Structure 1
Amino acid sequence: MLLLSLDTSTAACSVALHKDGTLLGAYELFTERTSAAMLTTLLEQVVTHSGFALHQVDAIAVAKGPGSYTGLRIGVSTAKGLCFALDKPLLAVNTLVGMAEQIRAHYPANYRLCPMIDARRMEVYCALFDASGRELAPTSAQIIDEHSFGDWLAQSPVVFFGDGAAKCQAILGSTPTAIFPDQLIIPSARTIGKLATVAFEAGQFEDMVTFEPFYLKDFMAIKPKKAIF
């Protein structure tokens, strides 16, 4: 099974090609405004440079969000356009789930993982997972203050990472159980493709007519919900 994946959730832009779950090739760009200009080119190149043609791809996978409104719109519209043109199924993976997958093997079983994507002011998009990848708290938009994650931090170490973690570190950095990796973890099509392979095998395809990016708009358009962290 040949799977082409893309992630444009943030300012970074990445594409990857997996065959039966094995990574064949990937391209990543970390400059602003690369998604619209370079995405189609990168997708074509990762396939051809891996020795295949676009029509041989069995499915297209995309990071569905949360993240940048513009980036998600570009990524999803590109993925859906390819699916329609090539008559291939569409798979979608939560961006935060993909971020957690990048690092979960590097931490003990008692650690919790909290990927964060910068939203606005002191707000982040985040979720909470255990080291096996099981979701402990769902994706939400949170405004960070000194009380954030208090219950979780009292139970076990929590690893905060992603481009939104700096906001959290400024407030919770002195908490002994709050862990902040030195390396910035950026959403990547590499892990989107890895997780989408599992979804493909389970037949978890999206309806291309109704599928939309996961914007988390409801959190920003109405009054804030009670914090779940």
Structure 2
Amino acid sequence: MKKYNNSFKQRSGSIIALDADGVLLDYNAAYRLAWERAFGLLPDLRDKNAYWAIDRWDVSRLDGMELIKFRACFDEQYWKSIPAIPNAVKACEELCSAGYELVCVSAIESQFQHARLQNLQECGFPIERVIATSGSNTGISPKAAALRELNPIAFVDDFLPYLRGIPDDIHAALIMREPNGSPNLGGELNLAHSLHPDLQAFASWWLSESRCVE
């Protein structure tokens, strides 16, 4: 596993880019509430260690009109109401106190960019900017172009494929959350400079005196 060059440590005024869903916000919990909104039933937990929401909750796979009905619940109201992951606000506050500017870089449609920012701020995150990149089927991270332009010192995501194609001089930190069905495995783990169980662990490590070059 690559280690990040310690000479970049705690540069005042540097930007740290953060993914939202799975890093700052609990998408899985919001998915469950969207299901209840669509079908009037709050699904039970199926697998607490499942990476994907559809495997975590006791729900069926949808098609046809039911799928259209469910997707309609992923509207502005949804993107404004996702709960924060425990300790994520605290982690961001620690990074800001150390002099870093935090920018959320999220693969959502641009029409929901303001809703995402409002959601983050209402949760208490010290974040003033969201960059919406939409999705991509090119094999390269849909966030790569935005990250090249933003030029942060570090980028934190929980989805390994979104590290593809980002500049190597940006520290790529991968959040290794629920393991069952996770895409965060295999040879591409070499794209990550560091691995962490959550954002609080990343912040503690990033700000520690023990971070060094291997």
Q: TM-score, normalised by structure 1?
A: 0.32
Structure with greater proportional strand content: 1
Q: TM-score, normalised by structure 2?
A: 0.34
